[in-house]
Amino acid sequence: MTTVPEWTFEFHGHRCPFMPLGYRMGLLAMRELGVEKEKDHGFFVIPELGVGHPQTCLLDGIQAATGATYGKSLMERTFWGKLAATFYHPEKGAVRISLRPEFQDEFGKNEFFAYRMKGVEPSKIPADVADASLAWTDTQPDEKVFKIERKPDYQFKRVKGSFNKVKCSQCGEYVFERYARLVNNELRCIPCSGY
Amino acid sequence: MTTVPEWTFEFHGHRCPFMPLGYRMGLLAMRELGVEKEKDHGFFVIPELGVGHPQTCLLDGIQAATGATYGKSLMERTFWGKLAATFYHPEKGAVRISLRPEFQDEFGKNEFFAYRMKGVEPSKIPADVADASLAWTDTQPDEKVFKIERKPDYQFKRVKGSFNKVKCSQCGEYVFERYARLVNNELRCIPCSGY
Complex ipTM, two decimals?
A: 0.95
User: A84: phi > 0 → left, psi -120 to 50 → alpha, else beta; which?
Assistant: beta
Distance from CA of A3 to the nearest CA of B (A): 16
Q: Residue A64: which of A142, A102, A117, A12 has the closest Cα?
A: A12
Residue pLDDT, tens place only, B107-156: 999 999 999 999 999 999 999 999 999 999 999 999 999 999 999 999 99
Please provide the distance, in angstroms rounded to a whole number, between the alpha carbons at the two ends of chain B.
Answer: 50
Distance from CA of B100 to the nearest CA of A (A): 8
Partner-chain residue, chosen from A19, A101, A174, that has the shortest CB–CB distance to B83: A174
| pLDDT confidence band for B41 (50 / 70 / 90) | very high
Partner-chain residue, chosen from A50, A72, A174, that has the shortest CB–CB distance to B178: A50
Contact yes or no for A56 and B72 at CB 8 A:
yes
Partner-chain residue, chosen from A7, A52, A123, that has the shortest CB–CB distance to B161: A52
Residue pLDDT, tens place only, A125-168: 999 999 999 999 999 999 999 999 999 999 998 889 999 999 99
Q: Residue B74: which of A110, A7, A24, A121 has the closest Cα?
A: A121
Distance from CA of B139 to the nearest CA of A (A): 23
CB A61 within 8 A of CB A4: yes
Contacts of A73 in chain B (CB under 8 A): 51-52, 56
Distance from CA of A51 to the nearest CA of B (A): 6
pTM of the predicted model as reported, rounded to 2 decimal places: 0.96
Contacts of B98 in chain A (CB under 8 A): 173
- Could you tell me if B39 lies within 8 Å of chain A, comparing CB atoms? yes
CB atoms within 10 A of CB B181: 17
Compute the distance between CA of residue B43 and CA of residue B92 in angstroms, rounded to an integer.
Answer: 10
Contact yes or no for A62 and B81 at CB 8 A:
no
- Give the pLDDT of chain A (195 residues) as one tens digit per residue: 568 999 999 999 999 999 999 999 999 999 999 999 999 999 999 999 999 999 999 999 999 999 999 999 999 999 999 999 999 999 999 999 999 999 999 999 999 999 999 999 999 999 999 999 999 999 999 999 999 999 999 999 888 999 999 999 999 999 999 999 999 999 999 999 998
Compute the distance between CA of residue A155 and CA of residue A173 in angstroms, rounded to an integer.
Answer: 36
Contact yes or no for A53 and B13 at CB 8 A:
no
Give the type of residue at B155.
Q
- Could you tell me if A62 lies within 8 Å of chain B, comparing CB atoms? yes
State the burial class of residue B135 (Cβ atoms within 10 Å of its Cβ: 0-12, 13-18, 19+).
exposed
- Could you tell me if A109 lies within 8 Å of chain B, comparing CB atoms? no
Q: Residue B137: which of B159, B107, B158 has the closest Cα?
A: B107
Distance from CA of B183 to the nearest CA of A (A): 16
The β-bridge partners of B174 are B167
Contact yes or no for B161 and A53 at CB 8 A:
yes
Chains A and B: how many Cβ contacts under 8 Å?
Answer: 216
Question: Above pLDDT 70, what percent of chain A?
Answer: 99
- Could you tell me if B54 lies within 8 Å of chain A, comparing CB atoms? yes
Compute the distance between CA of residue A152 and CA of residue A66 in angstroms, rounded to an integer.
Answer: 21
CB A175 within 8 A of CB A186: no
SS3 A113: helix
CB B153 within 8 A of CB B95: no
User: How many residues appear in chain A?
Assistant: 195
